[in-house]
Homo-oligomer: A and B are copies of this chain.
């Protein structure tokens, strides 16, 4: 049950090492605190081995990668693997540049990921090892819709099996799958796309959920996705007519801070395929 997943995070306060982009890093830290986790950011190769060792999990987000941080991602990923910590990959912009695509490929080759989360264009790039996307947003042609849902579910399950990981594709409809089972989640609001970094925030929350629910990782990943979407809906309902994307951002984090297990359970729109 999603309720238990949420409560396990609040009860254990998982410490999450984030190597994440500097655009959305503040929101990532605050949303980790809001959901019941604790963040620590470090991206210097000489620092990350120690830092990831005192944490419970690692969130790697390639949004503003550079050569130094790519090296740090690899070192930290291997160390987290050796300690059995769950590692999540958010391949921001994979398909938009050769460096991002190659870095994503290299990381997947060298590090064992518990979960890979991205928009559909990024996850297709992960699947193909190459791709083209328009910036950091999903290509319209790739969008998961009710019409393409069956095919998309099959795609994520197959990829999850091939990479032996959890694959999460987020968009209007969210998919969270391992090889056998796919959670289809219909929470969220299109206006969340007008806030920078809701995806980055989600990746960090998912990492905390994976750490706090070691025996139940697929469900925990799905619970985190439903949490973000449900918070987006609740917060949207509180916006006044003069408020826009900046306040919406704050209200989503506030809503996650206030969320309890019952509300999450009641709000989640989930189907299992």
Contact = CB atoms under 8 A, between A and B. Distances in A.
A152 interface: no
A57 B14 CA distance: 37
B249 A51 contact: no
A260 interface: no
B29 A196 contact: yes
A238 interface: yes
A33 B24 CA distance: 14
A15 B135 contact: yes
Interface string A32-71: 0110001111111011001100110000000111111000
A26 interface: yes
B247 A254 contact: yes
Interface stretch (A96-104, A109-117, A163-171, A264-272): A96-104
Given A34-B194, A196-B26, A245-B253, A63 B41 contact: yes
B250 A47 contact: no
A255 B246 CA distance: 9
A135 B54 contact: yes
B242 A97 contact: no
Size range of the chain A interface in the assembly: 35 or more
Nearest to A48: B97
A252 B242 CA distance: 10
B44 A246 contact: no
A55 B250 contact: no
A214 interface: no
A22 B44 CA distance: 13
A33 B246 CA distance: 10
Contacts of A256: 244
Contact of A40 (B42, B67, B135, B195): B135
A136 interface: yes
A155 interface: no
A197 B246 CA distance: 15
Nearest to A239: B254
Interface in A129-148: 134-137
A256 B23 CA distance: 20
Contacts of A137: 38
A46 B30 contact: no
A254 B258 contact: no
Contacts of A41: 21-23, 63-64
